Amino acid sequence: MIETREAPAYDPEAMRSFLVEVFGPYLTPDVSNYAKGRLRVWVGTEPSLSPRGWARPGLQVHSDVVDAFAEIIGWEFDYWLVTYSGDRQAVGIQPHRDAGYADYEAYGLNCVGECTFSYWNDRKAFGYARSSGTASMNGAPTDIVRMVPGTVVRFNCKNPHAADPLPGRWGMNFWRAKR
């Protein structure tokens, strides 16, 4: 399942300045094998990408900032990842399914720049649904979304998905803890 919509209007340059100031100093290289070279920072809590299930503190921001982004995407979340594609050689994330920390429903927000979001629609619900086994990450995606500033994507993160950004792209992903 996948849905797209536009976030409430905002000034992309003001957003870029905010992101650079608040998150820029804390960006570190992504540890995911699917996103080598991408820059990222976990906000609030950083969940484990492995089955061990640890969690550690992420970047702490004022609750007003958390509330503002929850309002922008129209959803309350437990985990928040901010990513930056880089200035010259853009790096996104290859086709993957999100790790066990995350429940099925997830949101992506394209804040600044552009990105192509590819999605393989295997599970036909935002919550638990059996895999149909028909969506292979080796085949063509079933959905391709051109994300511009303000695009919000709601999707089942246990379905394969990928992001191919242009340079200078800031994005955010949001999840609830696996229930």
- Residue 40 maps to which CATH number? 2.60.120.590
Q: Sheet containing 161-165: give its strands across.
A: 93-96, 161-165, 115-119, 143-147
Paired residues of 161 in beta bridges: 96, 119
- Tally the domains of the chain: 1
Tokens of 102: 């995350």
pLDDT at 131 exceeding the cut of 80: no
139 burial class (0-12, 13-18, 19+ CB within 10 angstroms)? exposed
pLDDT in tens, 144-163: 999 999 999 999 999 999 99
Domain of residue 7 covers 2-177
- Dump strand ranges (E) for the chain: 2-6, 28-29, 39-43, 45-47, 55-57, 79-84, 93-96, 102-112, 115-119, 143-147, 151-156, 161-165, 170-177
Model confidence, pTM:
0.93
pLDDT at 169 exceeding the cut of 90: yes
